Amino acid sequence: MNSTRMRSAGPAAAALVLAGLVTAAGPAAAAPACTPRIQVLGSLGSGGYSVGNEQTEGVLALGPGNLSAGLSAGKPVYWTGTRLHKVPMPDATLSGAVLGVNRGGLMVGAVRGGDGYLFTYRAGDAAITRLPGSDWLSDDADVNDAGYVVSRTRPGLGTVWKDGRKVRDLAPPADAAPGTRIELVTGINNKGDVLGMAREDYEVPETGQHLEGTYPVLWPADGGPAKALARTANDAYVQDLDESGRIVGYDWNGMGYQYTPLTWTPPHPGPVGVPGVLNTHPYGTLEAISPTSNVSVGTAMFHPDQQTLPDQAQLWTGTGPLLALPRLAANRASAASSVSDDGRVGGAAVNAGGTLKPVIWTCATKQAYLPQ
């Protein structure tokens, strides 16, 4: 799931940056103290957590102040604090999710079912704005502080929209095998770098070699051609990038949840298999990275057929081992999908009654721990 997350802390946030500087008028007021806790947000659903099933609850994006967004009961929603608000849909029977939100509060989401499409929305608006050319394949998307929205479309291309209009196509790398298509577009930072994945399926006529699989692609902010990043031995799924160009994702090998967290660091010579996996689980993902603080989050997993422990939300500070985030209830599953520079981590967790709830871990690094 990705891929979905707040990546917004660039020039548009200059006023916020000043809050941490000493100016001619003297030091700015200190930021309010952070209280580590798990906030349980309002929800529409009452279902549980099933390994391998489509996500129905979760905080997929973290906006300014107390704004967060995602889905509940499979519907696109947003929250102010813990209070839930429905995104006004033209057809209430359709499912969907809010996938990203920028520092100005502009959300991007996807409608699933029917012909499917992407939309943008701001809290309080009477209706969503449908993005032209988007379709049911646009199942991952992001938005930066300048309001540029990125995703994939049916022709196998990535697309960039601004103010409701398509402004750029994102083609596969020039040296890609014939027939290569863009599989997903998962992120854009404030610089304008765009992250995604290409899928090839091609038999070389001269040798009979069959080229098949996915690999990461980066479209530079200057509008230059796509750059194919170094491949892994298996399928590499890149999920997010920060303002410096650090990339997080995971390697997939085999059926089910056989994932291994991966990171790429500029100039991206190849993925580095750090931080490994949480010491209690054999598999895991990294789904999001904070804009500037180098904190990544994801989910530690077992294979569905070998479930020794429930899934658990995990966090990496950029150094040392992966850490676990506290469960909402003992021996109940949890997952992390989004992270912000102010220490919040968004995701979902199962409560003591067995119900999956959207949650936010506040001061997450202060709560994270190394399981014994």
Which tokens in the block code for residue 205?
């006529």
Low-confidence ranges of the chain (pLDDT < 70): 1-32, 50-53, 254-256
Closest to 287 measured CA to CA, from 58, 96, 126: 58
Round the CA-based radius of gyration of the chain to a whole number and report it: 20
What pLDDT score does 17 carry? 24
Residue 63: partners with Cβ closer than 8 Å, 6 or more residues away = 6, 69, 78, 101, 102, 103, 105, 107
Strand partners, 198: 182, 215
The pair phi, psi for residue 293, each rounded to 5°, is: -95, 0
pLDDT for the residue numbered 52: 54
What pLDDT is stored for residue 113 in this prediction? 75
pLDDT at 190: 97
Q: Are 242 and 8 in contact (CB under 8 A)?
A: no
Q: What is the pLDDT of residue 231?
A: 82
220-249 tens-digit pLDDT: 999 889 999 988 878 889 999 999 999 999
> Which residues does residue 349 pair with via DSSP β-bridges, in sequence order?
334, 357
Give the pLDDT confidence of 313-326 residue by residue, as tens digits: 999 999 999 999 99
pLDDT at 230: 83
Q: What pLDDT was estimated at residue 256?
A: 66
Q: Looking at residue 252, what is its pLDDT?
A: 85
- Predicted local distance difference test score (pLDDT) of residue 45: 84
